[in-house]
Amino acid sequence: MKPLDVDQATLARRDEIVAALRKIVPGEGVVDAKISRRAYESDALTAYRALPMVVVLPESVAQVRAVLAYCHENNVKVVARGAGTSLSGGALPLEDGVLLSMMKFNKIKEIDFENRIVVTEPGVTNLAITRAVEAQGFYYAPDPSSQIACSIGGNVAENSGGVHCLKYGLTTNNVLGVEIVLMTGEVIRLGGRHLDQDGYDLLGLVTGSEGMLGVVTEVTVRILRAPETARALMIAFDSSESAGACVADVIAAGIIPGGMEMMDRLAIEAAEDFVHVGYPRDAEALLIVELDGPSVEVDHLVGRVEAIALKRGATQCRISNSDAERLAFWAGRKAAFPAVGRLSPDYFCMDGTIPRKELPRVLAGMRQLSEKHGLRVANVFHAGDGNLHPLILYDANKPGELALAEEFGADILRLCVEVGGVLTGEHGVGIEKRDLMPEMFSDIDLSHQIRVKCAFDAKHLLNPGKVFPVLHRCAELGRMHVHGGRLAFPEIPRF
């Protein structure tokens, strides 16, 4: 990744900026000491680091408004941060910018069981929402594997997914409304307490906008009744291709599992070494398929999935007969990332999405790429919705390996796009996939996306340098011209 340019003129004003911010957020809400700022220098994409100019932890919407208005007026960049678990570098700070941590917004404001909604502050963790309603038989469906730590504000910004999103949708399908503060300090409310609203779907636009349009200060989500029962199948195959074909067959048969996850041999072995739950070490691929709903329906569907798997040559098929057994099947999958982390000093988690039917082709292609680049790759992914998470193993201490891993990752994502897929399924573009955006979008596509950014943040002060390979000044978008058959922008500096 090309390092982000640092504006020395802003850095020269650092003391003055810190003093002004202290007036807005008094006490310990402004973190100025270098050693304390170090804690914020990266998110979960630890390959990239930058020391934020200053960290601010506001406690009220009024403070967020005042901080943003000050920064807008004084041309200071801002990066919002939740729990810092982004895997695409979305919360990577700027050396010449304010890092705005939203983790003091940690209260659930309202639980309305009658209307099945929860209104919450953005720093509340994803899992805390389910914990707050589960005694009454409800839950919040999107369940990123990081749910114990990641914030609902971060989930909105990244449009996060998880195991259950195949059946219950991503964050965008479960968020009803948000309050956001714009870079100017103005507050707007999008959506509300119901599924649909009049006017443009700006809520849909903000969900997944990677902290670039506004700072989320309140989120309204819908909660669902917990299913009557859930059972899981653990199905082993002697090839990833057969497992991939089984996934496509299950969906083609009209069955939508609550979750359908796949792991390849390297991931299976790592997970089994980590959690010891009886994963078959000799399998080349393992599927965990969960069916949920009324018991009669679940028992019927379990039988159908088993029959499809056996027809596709499954070498082993275990079916859970208790909740403890079901959770044991999931334990390895849920712990797969830390488990793979024990195989190598570093790994890159990619996040491409492909049409399900292309799984066998892409998995075969990935094996070839692994040989070409000389790096191992473990595969753990949301097979049901074609969302791949190849984990590229490398050692950042070996000269050149980070660059090699980046190139390998880019080749995987190019392959995803080639088969009709997309660069990201749920982790966002951030800094990680930013320079690959032209592989997927034309100049015209990108310029229109940038226009949306301009409508919300005309000075490009909120999370600049992320998502768009070149960030164009809004005024210059009107001066694009056609050059050699392609739309060209006037020469302007990169951020």
Ligand X SMILES: Cc1cc2nc3c(=O)[nH]c(=O)nc-3n(C[C@H](O)[C@H](O)[C@H](O)COP(=O)(O)OP(=O)(O)OC[C@H]3O[C@@H](n4cnc5c(N)ncnc54)[C@H](O)[C@@H]3O)c2cc1C
Is the Cβ of residue 150 or residue 223 nearer to ligand X in the bound state? 150
Report the residue from 10, 130, 160, 172 that binds ligand X according to the rule CB under 6 A: 160
| Cα-based distances in Å from 314 to 91, 240, 277, 329, 359 | 42, 11, 19, 17, 17
DSSP SS3 for 191: strand
Q: How far apart are CA 330 and CA 318, in angstroms?
A: 13
Residue 96 near ligand X by CB under 6 A? no
Torsion angle, alpha carbons of 260, 264, 270, 274, to 10: 20
Residue 84 near ligand X by CB under 6 A? yes
Is the Cβ of residue 79 or residue 416 nearer to ligand X in the bound state? 79
**Nearest Cα to Cα of residue 308 among 282, 293, 289:** 289
Per-residue interface string for the shown chain with ligand X, residues 42-81, x marking contact by CB under 6 A = -xx----------------------------------xxx
Is the Cβ of residue 117 or residue 215 nearer to ligand X in the bound state? 215
Q: Which residues, listed in sequence order, are joined to residue 348 by a DSSP beta bridge? A: 392
Is the Cβ of residue 102 or residue 308 nearer to ligand X in the bound state? 102
The minimum distance between CB 216 and ligand X, in angstroms, equals 4
Is the Cβ of residue 71 or residue 298 nearer to ligand X in the bound state? 71
488 secondary structure, DSSP code: E
Q: How far apart are CA 32 and CA 28, in angstroms?
A: 9
DSSP letter string over 27-91? GGGEE--HHHHGGGS--S-TT-----SEEE---SHHHHHHHHHHHHHTT-EEEEESSS--SSSTT
Report the residue from 215, 245, 305, 377 that binds ligand X according to the rule CB under 6 A: 215
User: Which residues inside 455-484 make contact with ligand X, applying CB under 6 A?
Assistant: 463
Q: How far apart are CA 136 and CA 127, in angstroms?
A: 15
Is the Cβ of residue 145 or residue 239 nearer to ligand X in the bound state? 145
Residue 387 near ligand X by CB under 6 A? no
Residue 211 near ligand X by CB under 6 A? yes
DSSP SS3 for 435: helix
Is the Cβ of residue 181 or residue 289 nearer to ligand X in the bound state? 181
Q: How far apart are CA 42 and CA 52, in angstroms?
A: 9
The minimum distance between CB 436 and ligand X, in angstroms, equals 17
Sign of the torsion angle spanned by Cα atoms 1, 446, 162, 93: positive
DSSP letter string over 309-364? HHHTT-SEEEE--SHHHHHHHHHHHHTHHHHHHTTSSEEEE---B--GGGHHHHHH
Q: b/e for 396-412, b at 16 or more Cβ within 10 A?
A: eeeeebbeebbebbbbb
Report the residue from 29, 52, 97, 122 that binds ligand X according to the rule CB under 6 A: 122
Report the residue from 42, 120, 130, 145 that binds ligand X according to the rule CB under 6 A: 145
Q: Which residues, listed in sequence order, are joined to residue 381 by a DSSP beta bridge? A: 262
Q: Is there a contact between 168 and 159 (Cβ–Cβ < 8 Å)?
A: no
Closest residue to ligand X: CB criterion: 154
User: Which residues inside 330-359 make contact with ligand X, applying CB under 6 A?
Assistant: 337
Select from 82-90, 108-116, 195-203, 315-323 the region that touches ligand X (CB under 6 A).
82-90
Select from 2-10, 138-146, 453-461, 483-491 the region that touches ligand X (CB under 6 A).
138-146
Residue 162 near ligand X by CB under 6 A? yes
Count residues near ligand X (CB under 6 A).
36
The minimum distance between CB 486 and ligand X, in angstroms, equals 29
Task: Name the strand (E) or helix (H) holding 187.
Answer: strand 187-191
User: Which residues inside 396-455 make contact with ligand X, applying CB under 6 A?
Assistant: 426-427
The minimum distance between CB 153 and ligand X, in angstroms, equals 3
The minimum distance between CB 305 and ligand X, in angstroms, equals 22
Select from 154-162, 232-240, 434-442, 446-454 the region that touches ligand X (CB under 6 A).
154-162
Instruction: Look at strands 486-488 and 481-483 and give their pairing.
Output: antiparallel
The minimum distance between CB 44 and ligand X, in angstroms, equals 4
Residue 260 near ligand X by CB under 6 A? no
Select from 84-92, 133-141, 195-203, 360-368 the region that touches ligand X (CB under 6 A).
84-92
Q: Which residues bind ligand X (CB under 6 A)?
A: 43-44, 79-87, 90-91, 102, 122, 144-146, 150-151, 153-155, 157-158, 160-162, 210-211, 215-216, 337, 426-427, 463
